[in-house]
Structure 1
Amino acid sequence: MPKHNFNDLMAFVVVARESSFTRAAAHLGITQSAVSQVVSGLETRLKIRLLTRTTRSVSLTAAGERLLQSIGHRFDEIECELDALTELRDKPAGTVRITCGDHVVKTTLLPRLLPLLREYPDIRLELDINYGFRDIVADRFDAGVRFGETVDLDMIAVPIGPDVRMAVVATPEYFTEHGLPKTPRDLVAHRCINTRFPTYGGVDAWEFEQKGKKLKVRVDGQLVFNTSTHVPEAVLDGVGIAYLPEEEFAPYLNEGRLMRVLEDWCPAFSGYHLYYPSRRQPSPAFSLVVDALRAKRPAA
């Protein structure tokens, strides 16, 4: 029996994962027609259809789904082993893919990793800015960044920042006009700026804690975002009250442009962690990224 050309299997895996010949071609660095011909040739040799093609989409047949599940992870393992071989080189190389929110990119990832990229020009970094809790194994990320208390127990979690506190803020002018909330429940009578993150679907409740008592409050207002990027700007414009990690408001609090309330209801909690599968065999490039991000403990 003639041996199969593994290039056609790799092309099939990429098309199946991308659900697109166009995106697969860009990933593989060849033309769309070449990818189509390679996959068609594979189907001909196997004498079974693997993909259902329409003018708008590409989907897996039952046979295609079975083949992807049986061989896809093996290509991932091969790629990891090839990356690991860079230990034998003077300079580690390879791509490290991390999914995270945008604020931690500005405050932590780029400041710590840009020097690493300058030192090791063969390392590439891909940052996926996403507020959903991505399945980093299924989506083929090397790691993700979350607050420590939200990381799954079967993951390795490396602290990359200090503990975090949430802050409830608005402009002094807003509080002069509408009054100060004395307890979290008072927030339901105020205009609040909400966030709707994809993991939960609905608008997120604001979480508080005081002396071991936890409280969730669902607030309302005229403005909802799906990221935190523009929330401080909206607060400064007087739209209403916002609730985010205090570091996102720190410059404006220090300048007196924003005012904080309910501080005694916002205790510190475990900050940002880099997390990745415990069974993952780290490449030299990934190990360098982890070391660069690992939070340094203050000297005793």
Structure 2
Amino acid sequence: MKKPTLLILAAGMASRYGSMKQIDGFGPNGETIIDYSIHDAIKAGFGKITFIIREEFLDNFKSIFDAKLAGKVETDYVFQTFDLKKYGIDKEIERAKPWGTGHAILEAQNQVHEPFCVINADDYYGYEAFKSMVDFLTTEASAKRYAIVGYKIGNTLSENGSVSRGVCQTDADGNMTEIAERTKVYPKNGGIVFEEDGVETSLEASTPVSMNFWGFTPDVFPVTEKLFVDFVHKNQDNPKAEFFIPLIADYLIKNNIASFKVIPTDAKWFGVTYKEDKEIVQDNINKLIESGVYPSKLW
């Protein structure tokens, strides 16, 4: 069986961070967070790394990753563009940002023909998550069976501001029944709350949330394209509307097209949303190196 592919979402604009955090250096030799994800992915058994980027990022990405990954893993690039004609939409819609994470994976449909995993470029996930996802993609994944790694929300917060999290509801079998996007989650008085319309609601620290670590087969592409086309028509006058992966998952679940296994993990996530997060990420990486999880020079 062909090894699964890792899709890395790296076309975002990083507006809150202030620069291209996807290729910012965090390790002792300038390693990006992506470097650590790729290192773990190769070790776990992924056979190809596909970067989903904006075309103007290409030279930067190739200069950083191509040489170091040569001979270790196959690499590929997909451009997330504003061209809608490929989806039968004969209209130009002015936007400052790409159409979102769901559109990003759709852009890869002509280059990905095997089970695949999707992650963010600016999040650290840990080896355990990659190994669990490879096991799922090579033994369980099908047109009717997908997965998401569920991180405990208490292991995913930023010290420097509120974060957005997809809060997962599960059934007795550990399958996701619903994912609700909470755009303002933060710690408060020793607990965790999310705020909506000025109202705070408490969340248990063990609540599983999405950190955009998904597992699919290529069967997801046709239904994603249909959903995206419908989304564009409904939101053509809303330049900030984004077509997110959870919208795809929600549709598949509610229409009994596919189920999503929530793969649990106790791993501590860390990532960069704000510029102030950089020092925390660097400290976490240094601790992982000191404990022997990674060598000081990754490649």
The structure with the largest helix share of the pair is 1
Q: TM-score, normalised by structure 1?
A: 0.23
The structure with the largest strand share of the pair is 2
Higher gyration radius (CA): 1
